[in-house]
């Protein structure tokens, strides 16, 4: 609300307009006048007054028309009607349509000023109430989006996320698949000044290059086969909000160049288009790959990396924050029960020991899925170890080298033996083993998962 609240006065009599303009101005109001209903409608197109004061009976456009136009333009705008005794019925009808008050002509100046002050206070209270409700909803969304954890490595990541959230800095989140990178990105969005704007996300590895470009930048009609109409891109759709680019390393070099241009110039050129579209969106990118390795291989552009890596966040894998597992398990079971309208499940001691002992190569996502599996199979509120997937409860030790290796071992057999030997030498720590082997941890997890199949090729 401004220091001098604005009032738009609409009447078809110039004498009344001049009198009210002087009266209101002397009492600290910013008074604007419009002679006749048409002039009043025109004024409402160019200004948003704090209060509208209008006569009811005017030729052509009436006070009821002004009321409807003012309420359409600003639902919080209080409208005061000036009416003669003969049009009192119309004034009462206007109250039913949302008018703030009416005052009978002729009126005392003090009464009119009191009504205008009351209208300003009412508007201010309504605006503040809306703002408060909006802030409460934002805090609720932020709390719901907040990732869970109490471990030191997790708290360090969250503290940095909270610190950068209020800024517009580009953020790069790195972490293994399933660690909750999109959850963290959404938390940053909900904690930012852009929380009222859209949160738009895309998995860059889920679409072929041509379709990905159309989704990111949009296209114009006829730019390629099947482009039957103009399409807005997701950068533009995220206007005023946050755009989350998941698995950014899966982009082709050609698409990377175009994304770099968007980050540098803050504009998008739709596929097949000739006119750029200005964009105002914060970008958060994520990857489960080591981008330093990708740059050395030439698959990821260094200029895009440095543009994205303004603020770097690393989400640790679940095996490195085992103290968070009970907290996460409790939250997931509560969420599953609430979603199904059933009692909240709890883990037995043996089941909790089992999930604490498991390495969770699929991280938080795998934990949630495993608990939903166990919840579904549980016979009562306590979830026993027998309800957990077998991969968690029946993990078999793998020999480093078979007692009777094949006479002519295949390359895969040799690879497996070497990987298992390195893993044993590193005490089962898969992250360190992957570093020694010179491969990405996700690659190591895929290989280990294949080795653990009940009927692998080596046993044939």
Domain ranges of the chain: 6-127, 147-316, 319-393, 411-459
pLDDT of residue 36: 94
Mean pLDDT value of segment 434-451:
76
Residue 134 pLDDT > 90: no
pLDDT surpasses 80 at 460:
no
Segment (H or E) for 64: helix 63-73
Residues in the chain: 460
**The domain at 147-316 falls in which architecture?**
3-Layer(aba) Sandwich (3.40)
Q: Which of 15-24, 69-78, 123-132, 169-178 has the lowest mean pLDDT?
A: 123-132
Instruction: Tell which wins on pLDDT, 440 or 297.
Output: 297
Using only the alpha carbons of the chain, give its radius of gyration.
32
> Does residue 453 register a pLDDT over 50?
no
Taking the CA atoms of 364, 365, 366 and 370 in sequence, report the sign of the dihedral they define. positive
What is the reported pLDDT for 86?
Answer: 56
The yes-or-no verdict on residue 158 having pLDDT over 50 is yes
Phi, psi of 116 (to 5 degrees): -65, -40
Average pLDDT taken over every residue of the chain: 85
What pLDDT is recorded for position 70?
92
pLDDT-wise least confident of 172-186, 213-227, 263-277, 391-405:
391-405
b/e map of 427-448 (b: 16 or more CB within 10 Å)?
Answer: eeebeebbeebeebbbebbebb
Q: pLDDT digit string (tens) for 45-64?
A: 989 999 999 998 899 999 88
Task: Give the pLDDT band of residue 1 (cuts 50, 70, 90).
Answer: very low
6-127 placed in CATH 3.40.980.10: no
Whole-angstrom distance, CA of residue 428 vs CA of residue 432: 9
For the cut 50, the answer to whether the pLDDT of residue 457 exceeds it is: no
Query: pTM of whole model > 0.85?
Result: no
**What average pLDDT does the segment 217-227 reach?**
79
Output the pLDDT for position 256. Answer: 95
In the predicted structure, residue 459 carries a pLDDT above the cut 60: no
Of 254, 244, 252, give the one whose Cα is nearest residue 294: 252
Residue 382 has pLDDT above 50, yes or no: yes
* Nearest Cα to Cα of residue 449 among 391, 369, 372, 387: 391
What integer pLDDT is reported at residue 419 of this predicted model? 86
CATH of region 319-393: 1.10.8.60
pLDDT beyond 60 at 398 = no
Q: How far is 176 from 164, CA to CA, in rounded Å?
A: 22
Cα–Cα separations (whole angstroms), residue 225 to 208, 212, 254, 448:
15, 15, 20, 43
**Higher local confidence (pLDDT), 123 or 222:** 123
Q: How far apart are CA 261 and CA 257, in angstroms?
A: 6
- Residue 395 clears pLDDT 70, i.e. is over it: no
> Residue 32 has which token pair?
């604007």
Extended strands (E) in 320-407 = 346-347, 382-383
Q: Which residue has the higher pLDDT, 177 or 87?
A: 177
Q: What is the pLDDT of residue 397?
A: 43
- Position 82 pLDDT exceeds 60: yes
Residue range 411-459 forms a domain whose CATH class is: mainly alpha
């Amino acid at each position: 609300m401004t220091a001098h609240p604005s009032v738009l006065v609409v009447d078809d009599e110039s004498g009344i307009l001049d009198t009210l303009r002087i009266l209101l101005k002397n009492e600290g109001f910013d008074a604007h006048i419009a002679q006749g209903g048409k002039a009043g409608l025109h004024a409402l197109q160019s200004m948003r007054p704090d209060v509208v004061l209008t006569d009811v009976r005017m030729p052509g456009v009436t006070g009821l028309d002004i009321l409807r136009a003012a309420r359409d333009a600003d639902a919080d705008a209080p409208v005061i009607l000036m009416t003669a005794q003969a049009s009192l019925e119309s004034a009462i009808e206007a109250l039913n349509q949302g008018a703030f008050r009416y005052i009978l002509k002729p009126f005392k100046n003090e009464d009119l000023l009191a009504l205008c002050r009351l209208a300003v206070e009412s508007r201010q209270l309504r605006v503040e109430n809306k703002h408060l409700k909006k802030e409460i909803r934002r805090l609720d969304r932020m709390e719901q989006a907040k990732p869970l954890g109490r471990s030191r490595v997790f708290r360090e990541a969250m503290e940095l996320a909270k610190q950068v959230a209020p800024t517009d800095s580009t953020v790069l989140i790195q972490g293994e698949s399933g660690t909750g990178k999109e959850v963290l990105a959404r938390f940053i969005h909900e904690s930012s000044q852009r929380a009222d704007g859209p949160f738009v996300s895309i998995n860059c590895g889920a679409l072929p290059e041509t379709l990905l470009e159309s989704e990111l930048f949009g296209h114009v009609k006829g730019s390629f086969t099947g482009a039957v109409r103009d399409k807005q891109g997701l950068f533009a759709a995220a206007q005023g909000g946050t755009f989350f680019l998941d698995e950014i390393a899966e982009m082709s070099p050609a698409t990377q160049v175009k994304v770099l241009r968007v980050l540098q110039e803050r504009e998008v050129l739709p596929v097949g288009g000739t006119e750029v579209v200005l964009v105002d969106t914060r970008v958060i990118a994520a990857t489960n790959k080591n981008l330093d390795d990708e740059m050395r291989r030439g698959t990821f552009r260094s200029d895009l990396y440095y543009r994205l890596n303004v603020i770097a966040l690393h989400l640790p894998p679940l095996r490195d924050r085992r103290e968070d597992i009970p907290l996460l398990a409790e939250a997931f079971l509560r969420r599953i029960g609430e979603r199904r309208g059933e009692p909240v499940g709890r883990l037995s001691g043996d089941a909790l020991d089992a999930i604490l002992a498991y390495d969770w190569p699929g991280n938080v996502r795998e934990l949630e899925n495993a608990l939903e599996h166990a919840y579904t199979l549980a016979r009562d509120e306590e979830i026993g170890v027998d309800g957990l997937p077998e991969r968690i409860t029946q993990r078999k030790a793998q020999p480093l080298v078979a007692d009777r290796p094949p006479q002519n071992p295949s390359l895969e057999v040799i690879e497996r033996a070497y990987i298992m030997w390195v893993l044993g030498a590193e005490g089962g720590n898969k992250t360190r083993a992957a570093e020694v082997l010179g491969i990405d941890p996700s690659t190591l997890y895929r290989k280990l998962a294949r080795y653990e199949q009940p009927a692998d090729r080596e046993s044939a």
